[in-house]
Amino acid sequence: MTQLAGHPGPVVCFDPSAPEVQRDPYPSYHWLLRHDPVHRGVNGIWFVSRYDDVRAVLGEDRLVRQGIRDFWSQLVGPGPLSGILSRTVLFQDEPDHTRLRSLVAPAFSPREVRALVPKIDRLVDELVDPSAERLDVVNDVAYPLALGVISAVLGLPAKDRDLFRAWSLRIGPTLDLAAGPAEIADGQEAMTELTDYLTDLIRTRRGGDDLLGVLCADSAVSREEVIAMVVTLIFAGHETVTNQIGNGVLALARHPAQLSLVRALPDLVPGAVEEMLRFDSSVQSNSRQLVEDIELQGKTLRSGELVVALMGAANRDPLRFTDPDRFDVTRSGVHPLSFGSGMRHCVGAVLARLELAAVFRALVRLPGWRLAADPDDLQYQRSTMFRGVLSLPIAFSAQT
């Protein structure tokens, strides 16, 4: 971005990889929403920011993922990253998208998710220790919870969860279009290690009630597709939840009146989760490629061009939300686009919401908790798609 909103001069070219945008994208979103909601930004990419337009883009048949897959594969080059991740459901169009999604959807049905509630509550009780006086919300609570839950769904060995986290942290940065050579090389190595691990695990799994067993028993699913699906669920199943927990805690810490309200009225937690998803989403954008020309807000977007739907901006659209930059846990009818829309709505959204609610119920019970770091010193992950702090220490009065 040549100039950020709030600084002298107009916004000329939006660039989501700019450090100042990744630290705080909302001034830029504010400008885009009001002045150029269908904006041609860096590298000629179209950035769409208004709620209704983003929802339309996410559900538009003339916008596909193949071009994004090809673009990303060229970025990372040949190797295990493109060989595995290009097969994931995230990069597929029809009919493969529906075929692959249908394989995992039963594991995330309301009935199956409800069965996980005792495990989620037990994990939260173990991780949120009232006698600790201090904890890192991201690393002590969010990561172990999210990894523990998705590992249980998949049937992955609990003893190896630290390995999954390490691999995810190395592979995740390669999904960013701003990834550098060193990150790509490290990601290639991590994907090789993870693929070797899963190949060995799959050899011993030909059935079972967990999702990995079900996938391995399906003769219509190739080994490569099983690996790609597991990689997708490990990453998507814990990275987005982890980041959203951190973003939500930070929002509460920065708005003490809202924190006090949730403490006094715990029944507000489910609605507060929706507001956290809206106010500072862990997933900021989703990309597509046009296969036909379309008209949007009076502009012609041509076949072959890349379009980025800015869900983080859409969730702050003043045409959709009253006073959108205000964090309000009592806000009704939120319906954030953080989990996508249409046929690509996140299959694990119900499970993610349950995890978020369980964590926030536990955290608001901690007496007098507060940030144990200067908010200006918090480090955000480097990503054009995802948003979250790397560490979030809080302190509180110990309970014996």
Would you say residue 386 lies in a domain?
yes
**How far apart are the C-alpha atoms of 229 and 133, rounded to whole Å?**
39
Q: What is the mean pLDDT of residues 285-303?
A: 91
Residue 239 to residues 101, 168, 299: CA-CA distances in angstroms? 19, 8, 35
Would you say residue 400 lies in a domain?
no
180 CB burial (10 A radius; 0-12, 13-18, 19+): exposed
Q: What is the mean pLDDT of residues 298-321?
A: 95
Confidence band (pLDDT; 50, 70, 90) for 100? confident
Confidence band (pLDDT; 50, 70, 90) for 89? low
Pair type for strands 306-310 and 46-48: parallel
Q: When comparing pLDDT for 244 and 381, which is higher?
A: 244
According to the model, what pLDDT value does residue 209 have? 78
**How far apart are the C-alpha atoms of 231 and 202, rounded to whole Å?**
13
Cβ contact 288:64 at 8 Å: yes
According to the model, what pLDDT value does residue 8 have? 41
**Could you tell me the residue range of the domain that residue 358 belongs to?**
19-395
Cβ contact 388:138 at 8 Å: yes
Count of domains in the chain? 1
Pair type for strands 285-290 and 306-310: antiparallel
Would you say residue 118 lies in a domain?
yes
Would you say residue 12 lies in a domain?
no
The CA-CA-CA angle for residues 90, 269, 382, to 5°, reads 40
According to the model, what pLDDT value does residue 346 have? 86
Would you say residue 1 lies in a domain?
no
The overall average pLDDT reported for the chain is: 88
Conformation bin of residue 155: beta by default, left when phi > 0, alpha when psi is -120 to 50: left
Token pair, residue 253, equals 């810490």
Confidence band (pLDDT; 50, 70, 90) for 65? low
Q: What is the mean pLDDT of residues 314-327?
A: 98
Q: What is the mean pLDDT of residues 175-201?
A: 88
Q: When comparing pLDDT for 51 and 168, which is higher?
A: 51
**How far apart are the C-alpha atoms of 231 and 194, rounded to whole Å?**
8
Give the least confident one: 86-95, 96-105, 314-323: 86-95
**How far apart are the C-alpha atoms of 320 and 29, rounded to whole Å?**
14
For the chain, the 3-state helix, strand and coil shares in percent, each to the nearest 5, are 55, 10, 35
Confidence band (pLDDT; 50, 70, 90) for 259? very high
Quick: pLDDT tens for 356-396.
999 999 998 898 889 999 999 999 988 888 999 999 999 99
221 CB burial (10 A radius; 0-12, 13-18, 19+): middle
**How far apart are the C-alpha atoms of 56 and 307, rounded to whole Å?**
12
Q: When comparing pLDDT for 9 and 19, which is higher?
A: 19
Quick: pLDDT tens for 106-155.
889 989 999 999 999 999 999 998 888 899 999 999 999 999 999 999 99
Q: When comparing pLDDT for 99 and 26, which is higher?
A: 26
Would you say residue 106 lies in a domain?
yes
Would you say residue 363 lies in a domain?
yes
- Does residue 5 have a pLDDT over 70? no
According to the model, what pLDDT value does residue 176 have? 75
Q: Can you state the angle between helices 96-104 and 223-254, rounded to 10 degrees?
A: 70
269 CB burial (10 A radius; 0-12, 13-18, 19+): middle
- Does residue 32 have a pLDDT over 50? yes
Looking at residue 84, which CATH number applies to its domain?
Answer: 1.10.630.10
Q: Where are the beta strands (DSSP E) in the chain?
A: 38-40, 46-48, 63-64, 134-136, 285-290, 294-296, 299-301, 306-310, 370-371, 393-395
Q: What is the 3-state secondary structure (H, E, C) of 251-271?
A: HHHHCHHHHHHHHHCHHHHHH
Would you say residue 13 lies in a domain?
no
